Amino acid sequence: MKKHKFFTKTFLAITTLGLLWRYRQPIMEILQIIGDQKAVSSYLQGYGSFGPMVLFGLLVAQVFVAFIPGHALMVTAGYVYGPVGLCVVIVSTVFGSQVAFLIARRYGRDLIYKLASSELIERWEKIARHQGILFFFFSFVLPIFPSDLMCYVAGISTISPRRFFVANLLGRTCCAVFITLIGIYGMRPPVAFWIIAVVGMTTLFVGWAVYKKKESECESLIYLNRTRP
């Protein structure tokens, strides 16, 4: 039964990624409309040399404010500033995520329930309570997770600040590179980019499935050891 679930999840992941590849053009058009990329580009360019600093502030803020279109900002960062924009995206998102984690660790539920949905936080906390670096890495790179919310969840979990930083740095960097490159390529990435992206996402989904399978097996062994006379 477990093996069947593993292959089912893998098949669904590959199918989803295939559909994303097939309809990548309309998806990119929708992203541009939602984020109003041209308007944001003009806005940032209006600040001249201070544009990257404004971008940094916006990207930090989007970790805390749900309606700021973070992915659209990342694409715009690559489009307007190229490799410099990529560096700004990585530093700002890692910094913002670490600040969110430390706020949750310092002030606890009383504050974070005012910043985000308490129901969502409690739901994800049950899953993430005793998880480590690998789990939170996946929470930043897989779209099945509310990545910004997971910073608060990590803050009230048992993971240490140092271990969360490792997961934060690796996960946010992977996400930033993929999304910002779309802008660096002038909104028209080559076919090789999409092939690498599909292979990379498929690998991550399979890795997540393997991780969950091993975790389930470990929990079963712990339960059996506890119930033995």
Each residue's pLDDT tens digit, 93-131? 999 999 999 999 998 888 898 888 889 999 999 889 889
CA distance 184 to 64: 26
| pLDDT at residue 100, as a whole number | 94
Cβ atoms of 183 and 75 closer than 8 Å? yes
Q: pLDDT for 50-79, tens place per residue?
A: 889 888 988 998 898 776 778 888 988 998
Residues 40, 115 share a domain = yes
| pLDDT at residue 96, as a whole number | 95
Residues 125, 27 share a domain = no
Would you say residue 11 has pLDDT above 70?
no
Separation in Å, CA 123 to CA 99, 107, 118, 136, 201: 22, 19, 9, 15, 25
Cβ atoms of 199 and 14 closer than 8 Å? no
CA distance 102 to 112: 11
Q: Which residues contact 108 (CB under 8 A, 6 or more apart)?
A: 156
Cβ atoms of 43 and 57 closer than 8 Å? no
Q: What DSSP designation does 172 have?
A: H
Which two tokens mark 200?
Answer: 């990379």
| Whole-prediction pTM | 0.76
CA distance 103 to 134: 22
CA distance 66 to 25: 25
| pLDDT at residue 111, as a whole number | 86
Residues 133, 174 share a domain = yes
**Phi-psi group of 108: left, alpha or beta (phi > 0 → left; psi -120 to 50 → alpha; rest → beta):** left
Residues 73, 174 share a domain = yes
Please name the residue that has the structure tokens 């002038």. 186
Domain count along the chain = 2
| pLDDT at residue 186, as a whole number | 80
* Confidence band for 30, pLDDT divided at 50, 70 and 90: very low
Residues 165, 55 share a domain = yes
Residues 83, 24 share a domain = no
Which two tokens mark 214?
Answer: 């091993």
Structural domain range at position 22: 1-35+191-229
Lowest mean pLDDT: which of 86-90, 203-207, 217-221?
A: 217-221
Would you say residue 223 has pLDDT above 70?
no
Average pLDDT score, the chain: 82
Residues 101, 59 share a domain = yes
Cβ atoms of 186 and 79 closer than 8 Å? yes
